[in-house]
Structure 1
């Protein structure tokens, strides 16, 4: 709550700024400026994915981990202003355009922001529990069945050494493929046409509930997938 004391401090600060010769418009703009990057809302409660993903994990994962990437990104905008004017997909598709001095933090933090924003939307307490339409046809044609797709994605996620992600993508050849990326790298710079779904296998995504049992987390995670959203991702125009 904005108290009378806060109001006095703001007034004194404004008076000092004006006394120093600053223009009121600049001061007002600074006060009104919003950060370029924000953590998107989940669209559902932190407890909505219970019992598969626990409330505390969702809270910490969304607010703290994703929040840290966003805070770091907003700090990078001054060093690399293109972050504020270029789409994240365009930057992450070709990171060679980013100056080497900031490329690693942009890769890590913009990648973390994109990955998690994608991840939150893919999970839901509602939505289709089975793939349908063209996505189902593509899954059956490529992997044989949804069950075999899950088996292969889980094997990829379990096999990712350290931290990272497992992804279902539409590759350069227009066919479904499973890929893995380390840390907060995205599949966007691998020439994929579309990203259909992805699962976070960083320990912070599961350790409170599943401890070191990543395979158990992956098996449970599929109960949270919104296949409507995955189908929409599959139907999008190429990136």
Structure 2
């Protein structure tokens, strides 16, 4: 990483840290003094290096990244433990890295547009649908219930899949899976290479806009690869999504134009699947 790239990384980390600090402070985790200390430490370190950006080096970048990952993991753990989201209260989750963190695979402009515009539109659409259905219950008027149920399905699936999508990619991603996950992949698909071939082929063949998703099927007790048209159509229930790949045009067209195969391969390589060795 050259000096210019390091300074760019520092600026991106500054933007991300301030976004986290100003995010939904009503969540209980923001009341935890140790969590506030971690955020303040990150902001303080960034501020210090911004004063003398020319001396910012790769070791300093790794230190900032370790602290940022610690904060992001605590946020993710809090979300999974979960307080109930109020009706119409869904919020756009912050990216777990800077807009330019996945370059050259996903450039800054496309990442910012994808997250800040497209993902946010699904959050807004889900909130709108939930509020309208709440009004329908209150007024005992279900004339438009079919429309709002469809809106909730489309936007809700879009919001949830994108939330996982951001989390499974990492600047440090790539490589081959290990541990229990690799064993399950080999058991379900024959080999890691066969999994990648199947996953890539499924992504290439998604009809129109949609997703290819590696899922865990609790009843079958094995991994499967599914397609979803749009966000919610032609897939299965009762599965747990692990690795969703967005093949809507907004996820790749600005940078890769109509080469869906190129972005498919790049994002599989940059996912955290290769660094995962957890149990299923």
TM-score, structure 2 length as denominator? 0.61
Contact 2:189 2:195 in 1 (8 A): yes
Deviation track 1:106-136 (CA, whole Å, cap 9, x = no partner) reads 0111111101001000111125632111110
Deviation track 1:27-56 (CA, whole Å, cap 9, x = no partner) reads xxxxxx996111100110010111111111
Mark the runs of 5 or more structure 1 residues left unpaired by the alignment: 1-32, 83-98
In 1: Cα distance, 2:88 partner to 2:95 partner: 19
Instruction: Determine helix, strand or coil for the equivalent of 1:41.
Output: coil
Instruction: Determine helix, strand or coil for the equivalent of 1:185.
Output: coil
Aligned to 1:161: 207
Contact 1:187 1:195 in 2 (8 A): no
Report the structure number with the largest CA radius of gyration.
1
Contact 1:122 1:225 in 2 (8 A): yes
In 2: Cα distance, 1:54 partner to 1:148 partner: 29
- 165, 169, 172: which one aligns with 1:123: 169
Q: Is residue 150 of structure 2 the alignment partner of residue 150 of structure 1?
A: no
The 1:204–1:230 alpha-carbon spacing in structure 2 relative to 1, beyond 3 Å, is farther
Aligned to 2:255: 209
Deviation at 1:196, TM superposition (A): 1.8
Say which is worse superposed, 158-167 or 70-79, in terms of deviation: 70-79
In 1: Cα distance, 2:234 partner to 2:215 partner: 8
The 1:204–1:56 alpha-carbon spacing in structure 2 relative to 1, beyond 3 Å, is same
In 2: Cα distance, 1:129 partner to 1:186 partner: 31
Mark the runs of 5 or more structure 2 residues left unpaired by the alignment: 1-85, 136-144
Instruction: Determine helix, strand or coil for the equivalent of 1:48.
Output: coil
Please give the root-mean-square deviation of Cα atoms over the aligned residues, in Å: 2.5
In 2: Cα distance, 1:101 partner to 1:221 partner: 34
Contact 2:129 2:149 in 1 (8 A): no
Deviation at 1:150, TM superposition (A): 1.0
Q: Is residue 155 of structure 2 the alignment partner of residue 109 of structure 1?
A: yes
In 1: Cα distance, 2:174 partner to 2:109 partner: 25
- Higher RCO (C-alpha 8 Å, min separation 6): 1
Instruction: Determine helix, strand or coil for the equivalent of 2:213.
Output: strand
Extract structure 1 runs of 4+ deviating beyond 3 A: 186-189, 228-232
Aligned to 1:87: none
In 1: Cα distance, 2:209 partner to 2:197 partner: 19
Aligned to 2:138: none
The 1:152–1:132 alpha-carbon spacing in structure 2 relative to 1, beyond 3 Å, is same
In 2: Cα distance, 1:230 partner to 1:177 partner: 17
TM-score, structure 1 length as denominator? 0.70
The 1:229–1:181 alpha-carbon spacing in structure 2 relative to 1, beyond 3 Å, is farther
What is the aligned residue count? 185
